[in-house]
Structure 1
Amino acid sequence: MATNKNQHFVPRCYLRAFTKNEANATINLFNLDRKKLIQDVPVKHQCSGSYFYGQDDKLEEAIQASEAGYARMLREIRTPGFKLYDGAKGVLRHTWLLQHLRTEAASMRAVQMAADTNVVLGVDDPTFRLGIRDAVQVAMHAVADQFHVIDDLKVCLLRNRTVIPFTTSDDPAVATNRWHLEDRRALGASFGLRSSGLVAILPLTPDIAFIAYDGDVYNVQHTNGWTDIRSTGDVRALNEHQLLNCFANLFVHDPEQEDEIKAQLADSARRRLFPRHRINYAVLDFEGDTHVRYRVVEPSEATRKGDAILHTQTLHSRPTRWPSFLRWRMPGSVFSNGTGVGYIRAEHASTSHTSTPFRKLQAR
C-alpha cells in the first residue's frame, strides 16, 4: 500500500523553482476561469489528489525515484558553466514524458474521450466507464511502454534573458507541432509522440526552459546545449503554450505578471480547445470489388445497426506565434507511407513493421 496519501501529479520538486523565494511553501496562482491572480497559495495543495496514483507502493517508489533524479538534474543544470550532455538529455526527455502523461488534465481528457465514445456507441454499461484512477494507471504503464519513443529528439536548454519570466501550469509538459499545424499535407490530421515535427516544451524555472524537437524538421542554434532568449516575443510564445495547454491554473513566480497574463489570455482564450478531441462515426456507404466507402453520420439507433467505423481524433491548439529561435531546417524531411499512420520521424520509419514502406519527403 502506498505510504503517501497526498500524491502530486505535478511534483513539488518541479514547482519549487516557481514558489516564493523557492521555499516550496507558497506559490502565486492565476486561475483562468476567474481571470485572477491569487498570491501565496499553499503549494502542498496544488496539483495533488488523495491516492492519485492509487495504492501501489512500487509505482509510488518509481515515481519518487524519477522525481529525485529530476531534482538532482535541475541543481546540476543551475550550476554555473553547465554544459548539456547526453545523460542530462535523457533525464530531461524522460521527465517531460512522465509529466506529459501523468497529470489530472491528461487523465480527464482520456476519461472524457472514453465517455463520449460510449455515448456515440450507445453504451450505458458502468463496466465500460473509465475512471480517473483507471486512466492514471493506463498512463503510467504507457510511460514504461513509450520510454524510448522520444529518444531521437534533439534537446536544448533555453536561458531567459528578458524581463518576462517563464510561467508554468497544472499541465506543464506541452506537446506541440508547428510543421503538422501548418503543412497542408497534414491538414485535419492529429499528431503523436512519433510524429514528424514534434516539439516538447517544459519550463524548468522562471529563467530556464527545456525544449526537444525533431531535428529533421527544425534547427535551434545553441552553444553547449544552451540558447539565450533575448526577445520578449519568444518568451510570450513559450508562455502561450502553457496557457493553451493548462487545465485551470497557471503558476507564476512574480505576481507583477498578472497584467501580462491577462493580456495574453485575451489574445489566446479562443484558441483553448474544449473538448480536445473529436469522434467521427461513419457507416458503410458503398462496397465495390476493390474498395469500400464510409460516410460520416450522426450516431443514432438506426445508424448503429449496420457496419460502421469509429474514429477518435485528438485536437491541438494553434498558438498565435512561434518562437523565432525554432527555425526550419533546409532541406527538412518527414516520412510517410501514405496510410493513416501519418508523417513520422526517421527513427520510427526505419523500425516500423508495416507492409507499405515509408518514403522520405521534403518537409518544406
Structure 2
Amino acid sequence: MATNKNQHLVPRCYLKPFTRDEGNATIKLFNIDRKRFVPTAPVKNQCSGSYFYGQDPTLEEAIQSCESAYASLLRKIRGPGYSLDNEDKCFLRYFWLVQHLRTEAASRRSVEEVAEAESVIGGGSLSFAFGIKEAVLMAMDAVAEAAPIIDDLKVCLLKNRTGIPFVTSDDPAIASNRWYLEDRRTVGCSFGINASGLITLLPLTPEILCLAYDGDVYSVQHEHGWVQVRNAGDVRALNQHQILNCFANLYLPETASEEDARSQYADCAHHRLAVRHKLNYAVPESEHEGYVRFVVTEADDSTRKGEALLHLQTLHPKPTRWPSLLRSRKPGAVYANGTAVNYVRERHALAPDSINPFRKERAW
C-alpha cells in the first residue's frame, strides 16, 4: 500500500523555488477564475489529493525517485559554472513529459473528452468512461511509451536576467507550436508531441526555464546550453504560456507583485480557451472503389442510426507574442504524407509506408 495519502500532481520539489524564501511552506498564487490574488497560500494544499496515484507502492516509489532525481539535478543546474550535457538534457525531457501527462488539469481534460463523446453517442455506448484518478494512472502508464517520441528535441536553459520573474502554474509543462499555429498549411489542425515545430516549456525557478524545440524548424543561440534572456518582453511572452494553459492557479515567486501579475494576465486573458477540445461527428456520404467518404454533421436521432466516425480534436491556445530568442530556421524542414497525421519531425517520418510515404517540405 502507498505510504503517502496526500499525493501531489505538481510535486512540492518542483514548486519549492517559487515559494517564500524557498521554504516550501507558502506560495503566492493568482486564481484565474476568481481573479483573486493570494499572497500566502499553503503549498501542501496545492495540486494534491488523496491517493491520486492509487495505492500501488511500486508506482509511488517510481514517482518519488523521479522527483528526487529532479531535485538533485536542479541543485546542480543552479550551481556555479554548470554546462548542460546530454544526460541532463535527456532527463529534463523525461521530467517535462511526466509533468505534462500527470497533472489534474491534463487528466480532467481527458475525462471531459470521454464524457462529451458519451453524451454525443448516447445510450452508454462507451465502455471506458473513467474519473480523474483513473486518467492520472493511464497517463503515468503512457510515459514510457511516449518518452522516445521527444528524444530528438533540442534542449537549452534560459537564464532570466530581467526584473520580471518566470511564473509557473498548476499545469506547468507546456506543449506549444508556433509553426503549427501560424502556418497556412496547418490551419484548423491539432498537433501532438511528434509534430513538426513542437516547443516544450517548463519553468524551473523564477530565473531559469527549460526550453525544448524542433531543431529543424527553429534556431536558438546558446552557449554551453544557456541562453541569457535580457528582454523583459521575452519573459512576458514565455509567461503567457502559463497563463493560457493553467487550469486554475498561477504560482508566483516572492519577487512578483500582484499588480504585475494582473497586468500580465490582462495582456492575454482574451486568448484563454473556454474549452480545450472539439468533438467532430461524421457520417458516410458516399463510397467509391472501396473508399468511404464521411461528412461532418450534427449528432441527432437520425444520424446515430448507422455507422459514424467520432473525432476528438485538441484545441491549442495561441499567445499574443513569441520570444525573440526563438528564431525561424530557414528554410527549415517539415514532413508530411498527405494524411491526417499532418506534419511530423524527421525521426517520425522515417518509418516505411509504401502507401503514404512522407515527403520533405520547406518550413518557412
State TM-score, norm by structure 1. Answer: 0.97
Alignment check: 8 A CA contact 2:21 2:254 kept: no
Counterpart in 1 of 2:248? 248
Contact 2:284 2:295 in 1 (8 A): yes
Paired position in structure 1 for 2:224: 224
Paired residues of 1:37 and 1:255 also in contact (CA < 8 A): no
1:27 aligned partner = 27
Distance 1:256 1:90 in 2: 31
Q: Give the structure 2 partner of residue 268 of structure 1.
A: 268
TM superposition shift of 1:353: 5.2
Deviation per residue, 1:8-64 (Å, 9 max, x gap):
000000000000000111111111112121012111111111001111111111110
Q: Deviations over 1:108-138 (max 9, x none)?
A: 0000000001111113369542111111111
Secondary structure in structure 2 of the residue aligned to 1:343 = coil
Answer whether contact 2:177 2:199 (CA < 8 A) is retained: yes
Aligned to 1:132: 132
Q: Does 1:233 align with 2:239?
A: no
> Following the alignment from structure 1 to structure 2, what is the Cα–Cα distance between the partners of residues 135 and 317?
22
Match of 2:351?
351
Distance 1:256 1:116 in 2: 39
Paired with 2:168 and 2:244, the residues of 1 have a C-alpha distance of 11
Deviation at 1:178, TM superposition (A): 0.2
Question: How many Å separate the matches in 2 of 1:145 and 1:284?
Answer: 34
Aligned to 1:109: 109
Aligned pairs for 1:197-346 within 5 A: 197-254=197-254, 256-289=256-289, 291-346=291-346
Q: Considering only aligned residues, what root-mean-square deviation do their CA atoms show, in Å? A: 1.3
Give, in whole Å, the separation in 2 of the partners of 1:252 and 1:222.
27
Alpha-carbon shift at residue 6 of structure 1 (Å): 0.4
| 8 Å contact from structure 2 (residues 164, 256) kept in 1 | no
Q: What amino acid is aligned across from residue 146 of structure 1 in structure 2?
A: A
Return 5+ residue gaps in structure 2 as ranges.
none
- Counterpart of 2:150 in structure 1 is 150
Q: Does 1:95 align with 2:76?
A: no
SS in 2 for 1:93: helix
Distance across 2 between alignment mates of 1:354 and 1:281: 30
CA deviations on 1:151-184 (whole Å, 9 max, x unpaired) are 1000000000000000000000000000000001
DSSP 3-state at the match of 2:106: helix
Q: Percent identity?
A: 58
Kindly tell me: are residues 352 and 17 of structure 1, through their superposed partners in 2, closer, same or farther at Cα, counting changes over 3 Å? farther
Match of 2:56 in 1: 56
Give the SS at the match of 1:351: coil
Whole-angstrom CA distance in 1 between matches of 2:352 and 2:258 = 47
Structure 1 pair 256–201 and aligned structure 2 pair: CA distance change class (3 A): closer
Contact kept? 1:164, 1:235, Cα under 8 Å: yes
In structure 1, give the amino acid aligned to 2:55. Q
SS in 2 for 1:147: helix
Q: 1:178 aligns to what?
A: 178
Cα distance in 1 for residues equivalent to 2:92 and 2:294? 43
CA distance in 2 between partners of 1:251 and 1:129 (Å): 32
Deviates more, 1:279-288 or 1:159-168: 279-288
- Whether the 8 Å contact between 2:200 and 2:211 is mirrored in structure 1 is yes
Residue identity in the other structure for 1:209: L
Instruction: Note the C-alpha offset of 1:290.
Output: 5.9
- Comparing 271-280 with 346-355, greater Cα deviation is found at 346-355
Secondary structure at the aligned position of 1:317 is classed as coil
**What CA distance in whole angstroms lies between the structure 2 residues aligned with 1:162 and 1:135?**
39
What's the secondary structure of 2:150's corresponding residue? coil
Distance apart, 1:142 and its partner CA: 0.7
Please give the alpha-carbon distance, in whole angstroms, between the structure 2 residues aligned to 1:280 and 1:300: 13
Q: How many residues align?
A: 364
2:8: which partner in 1?
A: 8
Q: Which moved more, 1:126-135 or 1:4-13?
A: 126-135
Equivalent residue number for residue 162 of structure 1: 162
Distance 1:134 1:354 in 2: 38
Q: Do the aligned partners of 1:157 and 1:211 also contact (CA within 8 Å) in 2?
A: yes
SS of 1:83's equivalent in the other structure is coil
Residues 283 and 295, structure 2, Cα contact 8 Å, conserved in 1: yes
Change (3 A) 1:354 1:3: farther
Give the whole-Å Cα distance in 2 for the aligned partners of 1:121 and 1:363. Answer: 39
Residue 363 (structure 1) aligns with: 363
Q: Distance in 2 between matches of 1:85 and 1:91?
A: 10
